[in-house]
Amino acid sequence: MELVSFDLIKRIRVHIQRLERMSLLIPNRKKWIGVTASIDVLEDSSWAIEYYVENDYPSDMKGKYLYTYGLLQALFVQQDAAESIYKVFFDEEVKWSEEYPKAYVVREMRNDVVGHPVNRKDSRFFIYLVQMYMKKESISYLKDNVKTSENEMIKVNLMESIEDSAKCINHVLERVLEKLDSEHKAYIMTYKDVKMVDIFRSLSYAREKIICRDSVMEPSLYKITKDMVKNCKEEVAKRYGSVDAIEAYNSIFKEVDILYDLIDKEVPNSNMSKKDEVCYRLKENLISKLEELAGLCKETDEYFEKEFSEIVE
């Protein structure tokens, strides 16, 4: 029996936890909260349905109602959660009635029995479960049309409903994954050969001359460090949408900018003594921060290398 795939859910979760995907989603709080909450709800409702399938149905009538109402509600919530995930990435609703008619039948059945049983379609229908036909595998319910005085006994195979809904939801999730996989592959291919750590290839030389107080080379190499930071910010913005999109980078950028401001403006324009010594100590700190930044770039490069190797396997 096919149920909603927890593997598909997990793979979507992995995608949205990627830094580049988070940087796109988090600024739009509605989308970010929407997709994260929907993944959790989809997983939770799928657990509930799996429990129903794997365990005994109550013999007590009170328990039967709880299990039956709970199952039908879980099926509806499951579909809604899948649709919410779909909307985040496709900006449109799932066309249940057109593309997934079997799942749509389940939605309508839930609306009959659990959603609006005593106020269905402008109070035209009144619906109730028939107790004697309530089983784990199936239910029957009576649907009275008060306008025509007609009634209809509807039998539902619950196991078929669970599987029909699951197949449709899995297909929706596969469509989402196909889009995410394609976008991720294109993203990795775009930057796989661009090594961010190369931005800092002259940092060791600059460090040597600055720390050694080379009066000839130090000024030009100090300027080169600013170019390194500028190029790094530009590369981060290209990959993640903005300079401050990734907190690890943003934190170091802020500290580096403060150090440049102190070295270039605050200390020289102050009345403190030993300005040169203070600037020297600040530059030592600056070099340390730039080495941290280079290390972070190396980690980014390694991420792209790893992801590319998995794509080509």
| Amino acid at the residue 297 | C
Domain residues of the chain, as ranges? Answer: 6-186, 194-312
Segment 179-204 shows an average pLDDT of 95
Segment 40-52 shows an average pLDDT of 98
Q: Kindly state the DSSP code that residue 175 receives in the 8-state scheme.
A: H
Which two three-digit tokens encode residue 256?
A: 């580096």
- The rounded percent of the chain whose pLDDT value lies above 90 is 79
Q: What is the C-alpha separation between 240 and 249, in angstroms, rounded? A: 11
Strand order in the sheet with 150-157: 125-129, 138-145, 150-157
pLDDT at 280 > cutoff 90: no
Instruction: Kindly give, in sequence order, each residue whose CB lies less than 8 Å from that of residue 292, ignoring residues fewer than 6 positions away.
Output: 252
> Do 82 and 94 meet the contact criterion of CB atoms below 8 Å apart?
yes
pLDDT in tens, 65-116: 999 999 999 999 999 999 999 999 999 999 999 999 999 999 999 999 998 8
Confidence of residue 216 (pLDDT cuts 50, 70, 90): low
**Whole-number pLDDT of residue 115:** 86
Confidence of residue 214 (pLDDT cuts 50, 70, 90): low
- Give the least confident one: 77-86, 138-147, 190-199, 226-235: 138-147
Segment 24-48 shows an average pLDDT of 95
Segment 36-55 shows an average pLDDT of 98
Instruction: Kindly give, in sequence order, each residue whose CB lies less than 8 Å from that of residue 263, ignoring residues fewer than 6 positions away.
Output: 279, 282, 283, 286
Q: What is the C-alpha separation between 122 and 85, in angstroms, rounded? A: 30
Separation in Å, CA 284 to CA 102, 166, 287:
68, 60, 5
